[in-house]
């Protein structure tokens, strides 16, 4: 079973995506900002991190920087799921960026692709 970490400050969105993803067979953990996400990954390395970009306490940009600076997390793919796309696209610390709102089918196929075993 693939494990996902969802990071977003919108609790209703976290709940909805968690239910959808768990019904698809994923093991899902949630955090409401980047700081909580770092605490989660300290306990367990997920197969994929799905994060919002604009959040209080620690935003998606800082979360991505910190995840990619940790040797044990550098290969964990990151899906940015946001209404406000990252401004600086020159330093890309994520694998895919999808803009909210997004359809369930595209979200699920993107997650499945990012969770495929890396060669």
Q: How far is CA 66 from CA 56, 78, 119, in A?
A: 16, 12, 24
CATH topology of domain 3-114: Rossmann fold (3.40.50)
Tens-place pLDDT, residues 29-88: 999 999 999 999 999 999 999 999 999 999 988 999 999 999 999 999 999 998 987 776
The C-alpha atoms of residue 89 and residue 91 are separated, in whole angstroms, by 6
Band the pLDDT of 2: cuts 50, 70, 90: very high
Say whether 62 sits in a helix, a strand or coil: helix
The domain ranges of the chain are 3-114
Closest CA to 13 of 45, 55, 43, 41: 55
Q: Which helix (H) or strand (E) holds 118?
A: none
Which pTM value belongs to this model?
Answer: 0.93
Angle at 65 between CA 20 and CA 89, to 5 degrees: 85
């Amino acid at each position: 079973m693939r494990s996902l970490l969802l990071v977003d400050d919108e609790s209703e969105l976290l709940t909805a995506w968690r239910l959808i993803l768990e019904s698809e067979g994923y093991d899902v953990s949630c955090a409401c900002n980047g700081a909580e996400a770092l605490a989660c990954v300290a306990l367990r390395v997920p197969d994929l991190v799905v994060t919002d970009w604009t959040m209080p306490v620690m935003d998606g940009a800082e979360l991505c920087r910190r995840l990619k600076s940790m040797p044990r997390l550098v290969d964990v793919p990151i899906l940015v799921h946001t209404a406000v796309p990252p401004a600086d696209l020159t330093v890309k610390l994520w694998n895919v960026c999808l803009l909210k709102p997004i359809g369930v089918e595209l979200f699920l196929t993107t997650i499945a692709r990012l969770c495929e075993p890396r060669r």
